[in-house]
Amino acid sequence: MKEITKDGVTIFTDVDDITDQEIVTYRDTVIKHNGGTLKDVVKIIVKDQGDGTVDISYDKLSTVKFERIARVSQ
């Protein structure tokens, strides 16, 4: 699996002959599906499906709510 970093996002792909233009197109597809931004996208995965198509998926940071606890020393 090849690892390419572009615009702060890491793209993992098993497509051997991927071009820079294809990378931009896949990144733009993720932007479109992510509300017009790469915000919180940490990696994009492009997998060759073996029939001339690719599967594009991506991972996002998730927000985890937590309760703030104050430490009191005596």
DSSP string covering the chain: -EEEEETTEEEEE--TT--HHHHHHHHHHHHHHTTS--TTEEEEEEEE-SSS-EEEEEEE--------------
The four Cα atoms 13, 44, 47, 54 give a dihedral, to 10 degrees, of -120
Structural domain boundaries in the chain = 2-60
Show pLDDT as tens, one digit a residue, over the chain (74 residues): 889 887 778 899 999 888 888 988 999 999 999 899 888 888 999 999 989 899 999 988 876 666 766 667 66
